[in-house]
Amino acid sequence: MSVASSRHFLQIPGPTNVPDRVLHAIANPTIDHRGPDFADLALEVFDKLRAVARTSADVVLYPSSGTGAWEAALVNTLSPGDAVLMYETGHFAEQWSELASSLGLRPETIPGDWRSGVDPAAVEQRLRADTEHRIKAVAVVHNETSTGVVSDIPAVRAAIDAAGHPALLLVDTISSLGSMDYRHDEWGVDVTISCSQKGLMLPPGIGLNVISAKALLAAQSARLTKSYWDWQPLLTAGKQGYFRYTPPTNMLFGLREALSMLLEEGLDEVYARHDRHAAATRAAVRAWGLEILCRAPGTAPGTDYSSVLTAVLMPGEHDADHLRQVILEHFDTSLGAGLSKVAKKVFRIGHLGAFNDATLLGTLGVVEAGLRLADVPHRPGGVTAAIAELTGRSGE
């Protein structure tokens, strides 16, 4: 067993590693959240969030997890008994459905295989059948963190439009915002849901909604009970850079710094970096002779590989949690666990946020060593395949 002589390596799909620049910003002295300096901070954060979400729409922030942001999106737009069309892409889509049910909504879930994204044709078919427009919203997860599967949001929007249906489009970007190309306005999203601890490179603690004009109109007649999550007081206060309650002041210092880092690098460059690391990880998995949980693009409608994590299926009856434990004990490195239906069958390699080539190669080296120590059948050479992908020099 190795001795932990350095920092722990956190290679799960979130919370992610927090850059030093962000940690230092969070360590700023706390300021008066009713004073002018705070208003300047908040307004700058709102503007930079709009730039990252590629929107001109209103943004609200909560001291919350992503689950709180889910709830905010639902309670502000819907009424008791409203039907919500959802798609079973994995654990988090399932949890969002359970939350909707607990609020008194009627989630209607299109079954999925946990290896594929949202099938736009299935969404269109169900909405065409809803001639009375009982379905008030379509709620989908952009990047399903439990499975490493991405759904095609523009195609879902097109399916809603092709059906001629007035349903709102609510999109969970909890692990994709700041990590993968996402366009709230251009893609016709009504509510974007996200939080701080993934691509935004902060600790957990901030949830957010981006809100279209159509969603704001729906909020005027929504009758689900809300107080803490109510958009309107937050929007009113937010126009001057304030909150209706004590905000997470120091987290906002960190968020401003994280957003600045993303914009300094350039959003297209950030997304290309994530794409590149994901491709190298998949090359390693294939070289090991293991199977990626996400079905290859083209074999399932609306499906693509995630650029923020790769979920890997264990061969035979081998236990993914045992492999993860071996890697933790020997290399002080955490990998993501399989959740609910894929528990013990899958381990997840996070490659998002503050992440570079050296970190990726170290992570993949640890995984390859862990496979050997845990006696998991595999072929050697995964790290070599990743290096070839990163350098564009395969076969040299």
Binding residue numbers? 348
Q: Which positions ≥6 away from 392 have C-beta within 8 Å?
A: none
- Which candidate, 203, 188, 143, 156, places its Cα nearest to that of 351? 143
Structure tokens at 226: 């809300």
Phi first, then psi, for residue 20 (nearest 5°) are: -60, -40
In Å, how far are 78, 133, 287, 368 from 217, measured between CA atoms? 11, 17, 52, 53
Structure tokens at 19: 């850059």
- Which candidate, 81, 156, 78, places its Cα nearest to that of 122? 156
3-state class (DSSP) for residue 231: helix
Q: Compute the radius of gyration of the chain from its Cα atoms.
A: 21
Name the burial class of residue 391, with classes exposed (0-12), middle (13-18) and buried (19+) by CB atoms within 10 angstroms of its CB.
exposed
Measured N-to-C along each axis, helices 357-373 and 267-288 cross at an angle, to the nearest 10 degrees, of 20
Distance, CA of 386 to CA of 287 (rounded, Å): 9
Binding residue numbers for substrate? 348
In Å, how far are 203, 208, 340, 348 from 64, measured between CA atoms? 11, 8, 24, 25
Task: Please check whether residue 110 is in contact with residue 87, taking contact to mean a CB–CB distance below 8 angstroms.
Answer: yes
Structure tokens at 229: 């999550």
3-state class (DSSP) for residue 183: coil
Distance, CA of 146 to CA of 310 (rounded, Å): 9
Place of tokens 């946020």: 353
Distance, CA of 260 to CA of 263 (rounded, Å): 5
Tell me the residue type at 322. H
Distance, CA of 74 to CA of 207 (rounded, Å): 14
